[in-house]
Structure 1
Amino acid sequence: MPEALWISFAFALGLLVKGVGLPPLVGYLAAGFLLSGLSDVTGMDIGPTEILGHIAHVGVLLLLFTVGLKLKLRSIISPEVIGGSLLHFAITCGVFTPGLYLLMELPWSTALLLAIALSFSSTVLAAKVLESKRELRAFHGRVAIGILIMQDLIALVVMSLAGGETPSQWALIVFGLPLLRPLLFRLLDASGHDELLVLLGLLLALVLGGYGFESIGLSSELGALVFGAMLASHPRAQELSKSLWSVKEVFLVGFFLQIGIGGLPDSQALTFAIVAMLVLPLKGLLFFFLLLAFRLRARSGFLSSLALTNYSEFGLIVASIALPEWLVPLAISVSLSFVLSAPLNRFAHNLYERFAPALSQFESQKHHPDEQPLSLGSARVLIMGMGRTGTAAYDWIAPKAEELIGLDSDPAKADEHRKAGRHVVFADAEDASFWHGLHMPEVHSVILALGDIEGKLIAARMLRKLGFRGYIVAHTMYEDEARQIREAGANDAYLTMNETGVALASHIIGRDSGQAG
């Protein structure tokens, strides 16, 4: 039974590589290659099978859907994303195409398609790595994901032209999808917190996003990403993402297994893959210098570039349509780039700290607006996270004549608060560069009203690391999380439901006192 072997090998190799500090996905790739070799030696029919292909596809769609849930499109549409992606694509194709034509004596059309396939970076791997480090919302994470979305759109155009297919006339319906957002918000509100919430996520990612876009001649991956992004501004988007976490992780294993099980390479394929790996650093360097040209700091440019220094599964899709004879060499190139990129990204911050003096010399003197050091001026109370809880705290403190400031990781939400008269600025507590440039000389108290436990833990630790000795308070739903927040440096962490009960009781006592008077 091939399914039993898939699970056994994936678990064993995933556990092994995790034990040596590598991401489990490297083990899943190795498991696929081992299964392919086992199939050749024993003659067993291990795969790849249609079932594994479906599992892999579902995993990719769910990953892209959850990525979309954390994206704010306003922050993606920017010069560094659009300009960086288009310039990188043009320069890569302009250099790789004649190189492949001359060195490998390929026809111009084949050389161009191979150059296009190698120009893309892996959406799956980059999103996986950034998500695991909780850096999707960090500035460099948003830049990397934005560039990947642009590359995916380019890949869709290439596949349509190479395959001789164009989207149907019904594809114009996509421009009307924003009109469905109120309905989707109501469905999310009505789905509760249990299995219906998971089913709603599957419906949107696989049925409406995946099958729906595919049926009108568009990419199912793009559809899953779009439907996720449409819900990104909903207050429960994070909860939906968490509810799909385990489901997504299990199915995504199939994607990495499928790459390896596809077959062992011959000598020609290995030679091509080795050459592709030798030029891979040039791909990262080009991204780095292009992003610096758009005024990014060296740190953000380095971290974004490192996340993009790999080859893409979209290259395999392009090859399957236009260059089927090159599918195996490209698959090996993609796999090896994953093996190299995953551990490098794991130590990305350490690598930058080591090479920072040399890399910072290439910075522009003018920096991107999102990367300017943040000074809180004369503010004495800082509220991190301006959702319902943070807003309520702000509005209660504001009349008390304390100078206060709110921070939120959603630029659109920060704009809404400013229009409402609140002093709120954009900042992401999970972005290490924010802490490096933070100046808060007058702050004596901090309220952690961030939506997730990791953000609160990071904020508490970083505040203490910066030498802040004032009062830090947070709220959470669970006692074990409250303990973790205190251990991270907060003075107090209150249970949300307990505090709600106290607040309700205070209204009764206040009412009774008023009646007695």
Structure 2
Amino acid sequence: MHTEHYLVEVVYFLMAAVVIVPIFKRLNLSAVLGYLVAGFIIGPSILGVIKAEEHILVLAEFGIVFLMFLIGMELSFDRLKMMRRDIFGIGGTQVVATGIAIGGVSYFFIGLGPTASIIVACALALSSTAFVMQMIMERQEQITYHGRLSIAILLMQDLAVVPILALLPVLAQGSGTEGGIGTALLEALATATVAVIAIVILGRVILAPVYRMVAVAKVPELFLAVTLLILVGSGVAMVSMGISMTLSAFLCGVLIAETEYHHQVEADIGPFKGMLLGLFFMTVGMGIDVNLIQENLLNVVLLLVGMLGLKFLLISLSCFVFGTPWPVSGRVGMLLGQGGEFAFVILATATMHSLIADNIAQTITAVVVLSMIATPFLDWMGQKWNAMFHAVQDEQLTDIKGAMGDFEGHVVIAGFGRVGKMAAQMLGNLGVPYVALDMDQNRVRDCLRNDLTVFYGDATSLNVMRDSGVDRACAVLLTLDNKQQVNKAIHMLRQNFPEVPIISRSRDETHARELETLGVVHSVPELTETSLQLGATVLREVGVSEDAVTDVLLKMRQEEEAA
């Protein structure tokens, strides 16, 4: 009977998700909202066909573990280093300032206790990665100024989740110890430090050989089995030491990201993460108490408006303090004003440890859900804000030095036509900062109006290149279509900045070899590459497999390079 009962619950969960989530996606809304509504409908408030029983909650918690594992895999050390100013500077300032402000308001004005105030601050200081990243990617705004800053802040917030979730069990232990929270924090910090060092050392020594052995065995499902063993095994070890399983999941993700097998691991784990995380959000929706929200409707509305206003102000100020123009700062503040999906995780975990009253958690959950629904409207307001205050002045077209500040680790793109813009989009997709130079004044004006870091300047000018921070850049990309200008720019760069790698567009193979003799690291012949892509398109059209097309392209590129 128990087995039949579980199967019926599984059918209800799957039916609700399959019917409701696609509707939300069709409306260009986040799948997170769809899962919340699906859980709300099948939960006690509407149909009442499922209760949030213990076995469901255990499975749902594994969704959080898988999510933290994949976040760890995405945050490579190289990416953090490249974006360190925006992530740790602006993002760190935002998380700390917003947390302190919300915690202070909760304690001094709303009257919550110290522990509850800390939990509410941690929950509401974070924004929705799922919502914001979806909107940025759909509109290809990752290459814009406000898009890059938003992504950097979201990365910092994702990092902040790890210590926050590790903190909650400590707060629960501290409330019952003689020394209080302070003593419990010190003990947990010492234990966590030892555990983290042990995982990092063992991970660096063991992970690569283990995956290499599995790869040699050529049994695909073993990859998944080994990953689950590492993930769950390290998590169990952490829990036995009184530390959150999410911390071990995050560390395992970071360590596996450094191996050559991380793409395969990510592909294997992805479906489990999506399914279990969806289950978690459905359990959150099941727990929404409509009667409680109706009774506290005025408080919910006031908290919603207060949170949006406070986060807009503090996020905007965090950007502005680090030299971001006020119009762009305001746009970022509008875009990141909502609460995030991790608020549900934090509130659910805190409720499980009896750190916060259920009615308070319900009220904050309602505030976060409403703020998510308001995100498209907030972004529309941000666009109007930007258009109102971001009129481009003539002096801004050439103010490269003023806009750059202490920018470093970026790519300088010479020429922002079709090729340059496409390269910028690829860089933006991976969070690599860039500054572009172009001689078309109207194009530059349009780019600046859309928050793109593009300026009017001659790439062959030494002063212009100095202002663009080429001495602090990680590479220079020349996309100019004038052969003489390309050669002149290379001569100037090699003479004054010999250490900076140069990648260049070339007319043909002869021009490519000429550029390489001048000191270009890589040169891509536009005629050759266009011919290869046209040939590949024809092959696909006549039914040749993708693997065969890829092999032919690789072979012909190698032959062209050897010629």
* TM superposition score category, shorter chain reference: 0.5 to 0.7
Question: Cα 1:407–1:253, aligned 2, differ >3 Å: closer, same or farther?
Answer: closer
Q: Is the 8 A contact 1:296 1:367 kept in 2?
A: no
Please list the CA deviations of residues 260-299 of structure 1 after superposition, one character each: whole Å capped at 9, or x if unmatched: 1114241345444322321232314412320232235765
Change (3 A) 1:499 1:234: same
Question: 1:26 aligns to what?
Answer: 33
Larger CA Rg, structure 1 vs 2: 2
2:357 counterpart (324, 333, 337):
324
The 8 Å contact of residues 123 and 145 in structure 1, kept in 2 or not, is answered as no
| Preserved CA contact (<8 Å) 1:284 1:305 | yes
Closer/same/farther in 2, CA of residues 243 and 40 from structure 1, 3 Å limit: closer
Shift of 1:144: 1.7
- Stretch moving more, 302-311 or 191-200: 302-311
1:156-205 Cα offsets, whole Å, 9 max, x none, are 33652354155386531312333222421233333337222223333333
Aligned letter for 1:274?
A: V
* Change over 3 Å in CA distance of 1:300–1:207 after alignment to 2: farther
Secondary structure (helix, strand or coil) at the match of 2:188 reads coil
Does the CA contact (< 8 Å) of 1:483 and 1:493 recur in 2?
Answer: no
Q: Deviations over 1:428-450 (max 9, x none)?
A: xxxx9889677622444599xxx
1:188 aligns with 2:214: no
Alignment of 1:119-268 (within 5 A): 119-121=124-126, 125=130, 129=134, 139-140=148-149, 141-154=151-164, 156-157=166-167, 159-164=169-174, 165=184, 166-167=187-188, 170-171=191-192, 172-179=194-201, 180-192=203-215, 194-208=220-234, 210-265=235-290, 266=292, 267-268=294-295
**How far 1:14 moved relative to its partner?**
0.7
Partner residue, 2:346: 314
SS at match of 1:249: helix
Return closer, same or farther for 1:185/1:174 CA change in 2, 3 Å cut-off. same
Q: Which residue of 1 aligns with 2:11?
A: 4
RMSD: 4.8
User: Aligned ranges for residues 325-474 of structure 1 at < 5 Å?
Assistant: 325=358, 326-341=360-375, 343=376, 354-358=384-388, 365-367=403-405, 369=407, 374-376=412-414, 440-441=479-480, 442=486, 443-445=504-506, 472=529
Paired with 2:18 and 2:12, the residues of 1 have a C-alpha distance of 10
Whole-angstrom distance in 2 between the partners of 1:177 and 1:474:
49
Mapped partners of 1:8, 1:310: distance in 2: 28
Question: Secondary structure of the equivalent of 1:64?
Answer: helix
Paired residue total: 429
Tell me if structure 2 keeps the 8 A contact 1:269–1:332. Answer: no
State which drifts further: 16-25 or 307-316.
Answer: 307-316
The letter for the 2-side match of 1:323 is: I
Query: What amino acid is the match of 2:370?
Result: L
CA distance in 1, matches of 2:552, 2:260: 22
Q: Which amino acid aligns with 1:292?
A: F
Instruction: Establish whether residue 496 from structure 1 lines up as the match of residue 550 from structure 2.
Output: yes
Alpha-carbon distance in 2 for matches of 1:131, 1:219: 32
Cα distance in 1 for partners of 2:479, 2:89 equals 35
CA contact (8 A) 1:69 1:238 kept: no
Contact 1:47 1:261 in 2 (8 A): yes
Q: In structure 1, what is the equivalent of residue 307 of structure 2?
A: 280
**Any conservation in 1 of the 2:317–2:329 contact (CA below 8 Å)?**
no
Counterpart secondary structure, 2:29 = coil
Q: In structure 2, list runs of 5 or more residues that go unmatched.
A: 1-7, 175-183, 397-401, 433-449, 456-476, 481-485, 487-503, 509-524
- 2 CA distance for matches of 1:411 and 1:125? 17
SS in structure 2 opposite 1:369? Answer: coil
Separation in 2, partners of 1:40, 1:260: 10
TM value normalised by structure 1:
0.66
Instruction: Give distance in 2, aligned partners of 1:128 and 1:47.
Output: 32
Q: Deviations over 1:386-429 (max 9, x none)?
A: xxxxxxxxxxxxxxxxxxxx9899899xxxxxxxxxxxxxxxxx
Instruction: State how far apart, in whole Å, the 2-side matches of 1:253 and 1:273 are.
Output: 25
Report the AA paired with residue 287 of structure 1.
Answer: I
Q: In structure 2, what is the Cα distance between the partners aligned to 1:319 and 1:446?
A: 64
| Alpha-carbon distance in structure 2 between the residues aligned to 1:11 and 1:253 | 11
2:131–2:372: 8 Å Cα contact kept in structure 1? no
Distance 1:276 1:220, change over 3 A: farther
Structure 1 residues 475, 155: closer, same or farther in 2, change over 3 A? farther
* TM-score, with structure 2 as normaliser: 0.61
CA deviations on 1:50-81 (whole Å, 9 max, x unpaired) are 23212322222222212221212354363543
Change (3 A) 1:246 1:91: closer
> What is the CA-CA distance between 1:91 and the residue it aligns to?
3.6
Structure 2 residue matching 1:374: 3-state secondary structure: strand
1:425 matched to which residue of 2?
none
